[in-house]
Structure 1
Amino acid sequence: MKRLYRSTKNVMLCGVCGGIAEYIGTDPSLIRILWIILSIASIGTGILAYIACAIILPKDIEIN
């Protein structure tokens, strides 16, 4: 079962974009670029969405 988490491996700020990339199986850099474009195009709404995701999404727990 796939679950959406903040990544602990692909982290730049909070791991939100890395977690989304791991969830959909793509490159985290692509998600980061798309998120930046969204933030610019929506006059800051993308930044608020990122902050909300950073607060709401749990961190990925690595089980050894």
Structure 2
Amino acid sequence: MNSVKIISLDRRLIEDFIPIKEISVESAREKSIRKGHISTLHLWWARRPLVAARAAVFASLIAAPETP
């Protein structure tokens, strides 16, 4: 049986561009919020990188632009 490789031309934004520096800055800001934010209602021992996770999911769902 021959193996057939399918190459998709449907590229996603995460494959071409994801602003790592800006996401890192926003993640650090989110981590340092101590008062007045809903995430401080209960202090979880295992904080999740919410900004980074949202950015990765969003960039994987959006199609890459045709032009750079």
TM-score normalised by L of structure 1: 0.36
TM-score normalised by L of structure 2: 0.35
Relative contact order (C-alpha < 8 Å, sep 6+): which is higher? 2
Which one has a larger percent helix, Structure 1 or Structure 2? 1
